[in-house]
């Protein structure tokens, strides 16, 4: 095994770097820039059973050391993803992809996951119970331990692929949600999704985002995310994927020291389309400098 | 799309709040007028998309209006400073449908992308008509530059302090073979109604990435959802679906 290899829920990864859902589309835009096969994997755009436009624009705003988004799960729907996006992805990505799934009812989560379960290209199901930008679904499943457990249970019934629950930071105690999904058989958890925020335009005196609120991401949230990864890694036995403001190879190592088995990179991909590639290329040098032989040995190493 | 480091060659005000910046760097990815670049601005997270006003081998001209922190920071850059740009973004205008008498309609800070377009069209031997719309005399820019290309230029101002009083739609020539436009949304709607034939509209929207990944700038069209950054910013008349 190489220095960067890790294993995520039984599936080997060449490295722990995973572009996060919503910042990487279905891979195509980045495939035009670099060979996607250098990635550990990537988590594709949050997919729902039905096609969605998402929220009205403007749905992007600047924030101090970060950004707000209120995209609201725009996606072509799971059937089109399977019929068009996965075949197109197959022509240039030869690893298993992480399928990010969202929904508005327990049944919808299960139906979408059941369809993706049949796809050999899909390695993991990342079940997004934490989108802050949709109404009557999304985050409401991730802020109530009972609802989070119910989604987990329903999804586990329809798939044998590893199920990773993506958790919301917009809760009193994220470890409570993590334990609830673990108790229903979740194979892993990923965190954090974005933190709910807003901005007001001083000239128009109106919220910048048409949706009023949006999710905060970027370097601003890194310390918050790291703290939550630390807490969750101490509360559950299943693997934790750390994310939230990761921008550099050093950030990846910091997340892993807190207990992350793999690390997702989100907003930084939007600012720097080569961010994930650069992080992977810089990891060995940073590891040399820090005296790290291989990444597996540092998971939870600061605990 | 390409990422590259550009050097500021010149940065100067054209009016009270409109600036022209000339940049040196690799312009290979910039293939059509109406495309834009996305600029990393020191101190800010998101890049700022700015349309290409003119482009020649190794040199790029941007004309931008200071409207917020990002463009304010741009206006403070001086000769020799370096900027990280994503270039060659967006579809750009389709020149093939121009015909012999293209009509270019620009409103305010929507004027700049029409300059390189006018240059390409006049170089191709087209009889180009341009109508530039501003609020008042003090805000007029680029008029002489368009004249120097040999285009027939009319200017409108809302308060009538210069040129024809009113909007660009108040100074339309009778005959034209195609329409190319860029400006504020109400102007685009008015142009849509007041003109006929092949027409190309450049839209503006707040963007996350600028290269099609984040879905931040999507708009509904008659031909499905279009990302303004990647499938646009130029939409054809036939595909536009006006909302509200």
Q: Which residue of A has its CA nearest to B49?
A: A271
Confidence of residue A135 (pLDDT cuts 50, 70, 90): low
User: How close, in Å, is residue B216 to chain A by CA atoms?
Assistant: 6
**Minimum-distance CB partner of A62 among B1, B44, B205:** B44
Note down the domain range covering A115: 6-298
**Chain A contact set for B225 (CB, 8 A):** 53, 74
B40–A30: do the CB atoms touch at under 8 Å?
no
CATH of region B2-89, choose from 3.40.30.10, 3.30.465.10, 2.40.50.100, 2.40.30.10: 2.40.30.10
pLDDT, residue A94, reads: 97
Instruction: State mean pLDDT over A124-130.
Output: 95
Residue from A22, A26, A29 to probe the interface with B (highest B Cβ count within 10 Å): A29
Q: What percent of chain A has pLDDT over 90?
A: 95
CA distances in angstroms from A92 to A13, A34, A100, A273, B231, listed in the order given: 17, 10, 19, 17, 22
**Minimum-distance CB partner of B211 among A57, A60, A273:** A273
Q: What percent of chain B has pLDDT over 70?
A: 100
Confidence of residue B243 (pLDDT cuts 50, 70, 90): confident
Average pLDDT, chain A: 96
Confidence of residue A1 (pLDDT cuts 50, 70, 90): confident
> How many structural domains are present in chain A?
1
Confidence of residue B244 (pLDDT cuts 50, 70, 90): low
**Minimum-distance CB partner of B218 among A30, A74, A273:** A74
Instruction: State mean pLDDT over A95-104.
Output: 97
Condensed to tens digits (0 to 9), the pLDDT of residues A240-293 reads: 999 999 999 999 999 999 999 999 999 999 999 999 999 999 999 999 999 999
Condensed to tens digits (0 to 9), the pLDDT of residues B55-95 reads: 999 999 999 999 999 999 999 999 999 999 999 999 999 99
Residue from A34, A59, A84 to probe the interface with B (highest B Cβ count within 10 Å): A59
CATH number, domain at A265?
Answer: 3.20.20.70
Does residue A151 sit within a domain?
yes
Does residue A292 sit within a domain?
yes
The pTM (predicted TM-score) of the whole model is: 0.95
Burial of A135 (0-12, 13-18, 19+ CB in 10 A): exposed
- DSSP secondary structure code for residue B137 in this structure: G
B212–A29: do the CB atoms touch at under 8 Å?
yes
Confidence of residue A103 (pLDDT cuts 50, 70, 90): very high
**Chain A contact set for B29 (CB, 8 A):** none
Q: Which residue of A has its CA nearest to B214?
A: A23
Residue from B207, B215, B232 to probe the interface with A (highest A Cβ count within 10 Å): B215
Does residue A1 sit within a domain?
no
Instruction: State mean pLDDT over A196-209.
Output: 96
Condensed to tens digits (0 to 9), the pLDDT of residues A9-59 reads: 999 999 999 999 999 999 999 998 999 999 999 999 999 999 999 999 999
**Chain A contact set for B230 (CB, 8 A):** 29
Question: Looking at chain A, which runs of residues are DSSP E strands?
Answer: 6-8, 11-13, 17-19, 60-63, 66-69, 97-101, 122-128, 163-166, 188-191, 195-197, 200-201, 206-207, 214-217, 240-243, 262-265
Residue from B17, B209, B219, B229 to probe the interface with A (highest A Cβ count within 10 Å): B209
Q: What percent of chain A has pLDDT over 70?
A: 98
Does residue A161 sit within a domain?
yes
User: How close, in Å, is residue B175 to chain A by CA atoms?
Assistant: 36
Q: Residue A136 pLDDT more than 80?
A: no
Condensed to tens digits (0 to 9), the pLDDT of residues B9-53 reads: 999 999 999 999 999 999 999 999 999 999 999 999 999 999 999
Cα separation, B50 vs B18, whole angstroms:
12
pLDDT, residue A140, reads: 79
**Minimum-distance CB partner of B213 among A29, A53, A65:** A29
The β-bridge partners of B179 are: B103, B199
Strand arrangement, sheet containing B129-134: B164-165, B152-157, B129-134, B102-107, B178-182, B199-202, B234-236
pLDDT, residue A130, reads: 86
Q: Which residues contact A11 (CB under 8 A, 6 or more apart)?
A: A96, A123, A124, A162
CATH T-level topology, domain B95-202: Rossmann fold (3.40.50)
Q: Residue A232 pLDDT more than 70?
A: yes
**Chain B contact set for A67 (CB, 8 A):** 45-46, 208
Confidence of residue B105 (pLDDT cuts 50, 70, 90): very high
Q: Known catalytic residues of A?
A: 131
A45–B215: do the CB atoms touch at under 8 Å?
yes
User: How close, in Å, is residue B174 to chain A by CA atoms?
Assistant: 36
**Chain B contact set for A63 (CB, 8 A):** 45
Confidence of residue A137 (pLDDT cuts 50, 70, 90): low
pLDDT, residue A268, reads: 98
Instruction: State mean pLDDT over B113-141.
Output: 98
**Chain A contact set for B215 (CB, 8 A):** 22, 25, 45, 54, 71, 74
ipTM over 0.85: yes
Range(s) of chain B covered by CATH 2.40.30.10: 2-89
Range(s) of chain B covered by CATH 3.40.50.80: 95-202
pLDDT, residue A279, reads: 98
Angle of helix A145-158 relative to helix A106-117, nearest 10 degrees, comes to 30
Condensed to tens digits (0 to 9), the pLDDT of residues A57-94 reads: 999 999 999 999 999 999 999 999 999 999 999 999 99
The angle subtended at Cα B142 by Cα B139 and Cα B145, nearest 5°, is 160
Condensed to tens digits (0 to 9), the pLDDT of residues B167-219 reads: 999 999 999 999 999 999 999 999 999 999 999 999 999 999 999 999 999 99
Does residue A159 sit within a domain?
yes
A66–B213: do the CB atoms touch at under 8 Å?
no
Higher pLDDT, A132 or A215: A215
């Amino acid at each position: 095994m190489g220095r960067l290899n890790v294993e995520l829920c039984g599936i080997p990864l060449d490295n722990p770097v995973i572009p996060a859902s919503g910042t990487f589309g279905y891979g195509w835009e980045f495939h035009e820039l670099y060979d996607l096969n250098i990635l550990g994997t990537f988590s594709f755009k949050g997919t729902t059973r039905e096609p969605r436009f998402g929220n009205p624009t403007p749905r992007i705003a600047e924030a101090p050391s970060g950004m707000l988004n209120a995209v609201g799960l725009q996606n072509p729907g799971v059937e089109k993803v399977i019929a068009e996006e996965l075949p197109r992805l197959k022509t240039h990505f030869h690893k298993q992809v992480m399928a990010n799934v969202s929904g508005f009812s327990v049944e919808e989560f299960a139906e979408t996951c059941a369809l993706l379960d049949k796809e050999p290209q899909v390695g993991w199901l990342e079940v997004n119970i934490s989108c802050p930008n949709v109404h009557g679904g999304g985050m409401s499943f991730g802020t109530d331990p009972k609802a989070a457990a119910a989604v987990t249970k329903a999804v586990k019934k329809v798939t044998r692929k590893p199920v990773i629950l993506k958790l919301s930071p917009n809760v009193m105690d994220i470890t409570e949600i993590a334990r609830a999904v673990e108790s229903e058989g979740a194979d892993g958890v990923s965190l954090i999704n974005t933190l709910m925020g807003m901005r007001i335009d001083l000239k128009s005196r109106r919220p910048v985002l048409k949706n009023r609120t949006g999710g905060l991401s970027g370097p601003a949230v890194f310390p918050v995310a790291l703290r939550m990864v630390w807490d969750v890694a101490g509360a559950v036995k299943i693997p934790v994927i750390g994310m939230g403001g990761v921008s550099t190879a050093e950030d990846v190592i910091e997340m892993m020291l807190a207990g992350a088995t793999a690390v997702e990179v989100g907003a930084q991909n939007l600012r720097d389309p080569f961010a994930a590639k650069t992080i992977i290329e810089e990891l060995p040098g940073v590891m040399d400098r820090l005296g790290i032989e291989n990444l597996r040995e540092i998971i939870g190493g600061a605990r | 799309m390409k990422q590259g480091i550009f050097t500021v060659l010149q940065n100067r005000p054209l009016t009270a709040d409109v600036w022209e910046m000339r940049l040196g760097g690799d312009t290979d990815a910039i293939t059509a007028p109406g495309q834009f670049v996305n600029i990393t601005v020191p101190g800010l997270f998101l890049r700022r998309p700015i349309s290409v006003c003119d482009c020649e081998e190794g040199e790029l001209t941007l004309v931008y209006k200071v409207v917020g922190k990002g463009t304010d920071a741009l206006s403070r850059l001086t000769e020799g400073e370096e900027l990280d740009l994503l270039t060659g973004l967006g579809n750009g205008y389709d020149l093939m449908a121009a015909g012999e008498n293209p009509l270019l309609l620009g409103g305010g800070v929507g004027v700049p992308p029409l300059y390189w377009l006018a240059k390409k069209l006049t170089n191709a031997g087209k009889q180009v008509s341009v109508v530039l719309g501003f609020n008042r005399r003090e805000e007029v820019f680029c008029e002489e530059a368009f004249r120097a290309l040999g285009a027939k230029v009319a200017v409108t101002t809302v308060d009538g302090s210069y040129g024809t009083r009113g909007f660009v739609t108040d100074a339309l020539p009778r005959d034209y073979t195609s329409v190319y436009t860029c400006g504020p949304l109400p102007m685009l709607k008015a142009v849509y109604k007041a003109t006929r034939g092949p027409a190309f509209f450049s839209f503006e929207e707040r963007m996350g990435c600028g290269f099609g990944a984040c879905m931040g700038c999507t708009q509904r069209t008659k031909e499905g959802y279009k990302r303004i950054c990647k499938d646009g910013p130029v939409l054809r008349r036939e595909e536009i679906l006006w909302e509200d």
